[in-house]
Amino acid sequence: MSGTQPVIAQKSPYRMEVEAGKSYWWCACGKSGNQPFCDGSHRGSGFSPVEFKAEESATIAFCGCKNSANKPRCDGTHRTL
């Protein structure tokens, strides 16, 4: 990372349905127009998307503030921003 802070996409999680066996690429920079997933907007920023491999079909709370210590999942950090 380049030492810059990610853009806070929203101060709440994105609750998304995921399908077992699929990979999802979580946006780490906060600039994607396809939140919470990567659309390539990070290029040249020093950020890289984080792969999430769904082990089961479920609803996942993906981090929206981009500051979770448990990326790409929400850990409640948005409450302190």
DSSP class per residue in 11-76: SS-EEEEE-TT-EEEE-SSS--SSTTB--STTTTTT---EEEE-SSSEEEEE-SSS--TTTTB--S
Question: For residue 34, what pLDDT is reported?
Answer: 98
Residues 60-74: tens digit of each pLDDT: 999 999 999 999 999
The string of pLDDT tens digits covering residues 26-36 is 999 999 999 99
The mean predicted confidence, pLDDT, of the chain is 95
| Cβ(2)–Cβ(45) below 8 Å | yes
**For residue 26, which phi and psi values (nearest 5 degrees)?**
-80, 135
Q: How far apart are CA 7 and CA 10, in angstroms?
A: 9
Q: Whole domain around residue 63: which residue ranges?
A: 1-81
Query: Count of domains in the chain?
Result: 1
